[in-house]
Amino acid sequence: MFKGTNASAGIGIGSVVIVEETKLVIEQRSIANVAAEVDRFKAALDQTMKDTEAMAADLAERMGEKEAEIMQGHMMLLMDPSLTGEIENQIKGESMNAEMAVENVCNMYAEMFASMDNEMFQQRATDMKDIKVRMQKVLLGVESVDVASLPSGTVLVAKDLTPSMTAGINPQKIVGIVTELGGKTSHSAILARAMEIPAVVAVADFLKEAKNGDTVIVDGSEGVVYLSPEDKVLNEYTDKRDKYLKERKELEQYIGKESITKDGVKVEIVANIGKPADVEKVLQYDGEGVGLFRTEFLFMDRDSMPTEDEQYEAYKSVAESLKGKPVIIRTLDIGGDKEIPYMGIAKDENPFLGYRAIRLCLDRKDDIYKPQLRALLRASAYGDIRIMIPMVTCIDEIREAKHLIEEMKMELDRQNIPYNKDIKVGIMVETAAASLMADVFAKEVDFFSIGTNDLTQYTMSCDRGNEQISYLYSTFNPAVLRSIKRIISCANEAGIMVGMCGEAASDPLMIPLLLSFGLNEFSMSASAILQSRKIICNSSKADLKAVEDKAMSFVTAKEVEEYMKEYVKSVQ
Q: Looking at the annotation, which residues are catalytic?
A: 187, 501
Buried b (16+ CB within 10 A) or exposed e, 156-195: bbbebbbbbbbbbbeeebbbbbbbbebebebbbbbbbbbb
Minimum separation from the CB atom of position 521 to ligand PEP (A): 13
How many angstroms separate the CA atoms of 97 and 61, rounded? Answer: 37
How many residues lie near Mg ion (CB under 5 A)? 3
E-strand ranges in 439-562 read 447-450, 497-500, 521-524
Residue window 401-440: x/- pattern of binding to ligand PEP, with contact defined by CB under 6 A: -----------------------------x----------
Counting contacts by CB under 6 A, is residue 502 touching ligand PEP?
Answer: yes
| Amino acid code (one letter) for 192 | A
Distant-in-sequence, close-in-space partners of 39: CB < 8 Å, separation ≥ 6: none
Site for ligand PEP in 329-368 (CB under 6 A): 333
For residue 501, the partner it binds in ligand PEP, Mg ion, none, with Cβ less than 5 to 8 A by kind, is: ligand PEP
| Amino acid code (one letter) for 374 | R
Residue window 428-447: x/- pattern of binding to Mg ion, with contact defined by CB under 5 A: --x-----------------
Counting contacts by CB under 6 A, is residue 525 touching ligand PEP?
Answer: no
Q: Which of 345, 351, 387 is nearest to 363 (CA)?
A: 345
Q: Which DSSP symbol is given to 151?
A: P
Count CB-CB contacts under 10 A for residue 315: 26
Piece of the chain touching Mg ion by CB under 5 A; list 303-311, 437-445, 449-457, 521-529? 449-457
How many angstroms separate the CA atoms of 355 and 161, rounded? Answer: 38
Q: Which is nearer to ligand PEP, 48 or 525 (CB)?
A: 525
Give me the residue whose beta carbon is nearest to Mg ion: 454
Minimum separation from the CB atom of position 453 to Mg ion (A): 5
Q: Which is nearer to ligand PEP, 115 or 461 (CB)?
A: 461
For residue 452, the partner it binds in ligand PEP, Mg ion, none, with Cβ less than 5 to 8 A by kind, is: ligand PEP
Minimum separation from the CB atom of position 454 to Mg ion (A): 4
Residue 337: strand, helix, or coil: coil
Q: Which is nearer to ligand PEP, 28 or 466 (CB)?
A: 466
E-strand ranges in 214-288 read 215-219, 224-227, 268-273
> Do the Cβ atoms of 536 and 514 come closer than 8 Å?
no
Q: Which DSSP symbol is given to 96?
A: B
Minimum separation from the CB atom of position 485 to ligand PEP (A): 16
How many angstroms separate the CA atoms of 198 and 181, rounded? Answer: 16
DSSP string, 97-145: -HHHHHHHHHHHHHHHHHTSSSHHHHHHHHHHHHHHHHHHHHHHTPPPP
How many angstroms separate the CA atoms of 429 and 500, rounded? Answer: 9
How many angstroms separate the CA atoms of 242 and 572, rounded? Answer: 18
Minimum separation from the CB atom of position 101 to Mg ion (A): 46
How many angstroms separate the CA atoms of 19 and 148, rounded? Answer: 12
Minimum separation from the CB atom of position 168 to Mg ion (A): 37
Which residue in the set 135, 199, 501, 515 belongs to the binding site for ligand PEP (CB under 6 A)?
501
How many angstroms separate the CA atoms of 438 and 123, rounded? Answer: 41
DSSP string, 57-101: HHHHHHH-HHHHHHHHHHHHHHH-HHHHHHHHHHHHHHTB-HHHH
Distant-in-sequence, close-in-space partners of 401: CB < 8 Å, separation ≥ 6: 331, 358, 361, 362, 369, 389, 425
Counting contacts by CB under 5 A, is residue 454 touching Mg ion?
Answer: yes
Q: How far apart are the first and last CA of the chain?
A: 30
Counting contacts by CB under 6 A, is residue 294 touching ligand PEP?
Answer: yes
Q: Which is nearer to Mg ion, 4 or 451 (CB)?
A: 451
User: How far does CA 28 lie from the centroid of its chain?
Assistant: 42
Minimum separation from the CB atom of position 330 to Mg ion (A): 9
Q: Which DSSP symbol is given to 229?
A: -
Count CB-CB contacts under 10 A for residue 422: 7
> Do the Cβ atoms of 200 and 178 come closer than 8 Å?
yes
Minimum separation from the CB atom of position 73 to ligand PEP (A): 23
CA 88, 93, 95: angle at the middle one, nearest 5? 90
Site for ligand PEP in 447-466 (CB under 6 A): 451-454
Q: Which is nearer to ligand PEP, 341 or 465 (CB)?
A: 465
φ/ψ region of 108 (left if φ > 0, alpha if ψ in -120 to 50, else beta) reads alpha
> Do the Cβ atoms of 187 and 163 come closer than 8 Å?
yes
Minimum separation from the CB atom of position 464 to ligand PEP (A): 8
Q: Which is nearer to ligand PEP, 501 or 528 (CB)?
A: 501
β-strand partners of 174: 154
Minimum separation from the CB atom of position 333 to ligand PEP (A): 6
Piece of the chain touching Mg ion by CB under 5 A; list 73-81, 91-99, 129-137, 450-458? 450-458
Q: Which is nearer to ligand PEP, 162 or 311 (CB)?
A: 311
Name the site residues for ligand PEP (rule: CB under 6 A). 292, 294, 333, 430, 451-454, 501-502
Name the site residues for Mg ion (rule: CB under 5 A). 430, 451, 454
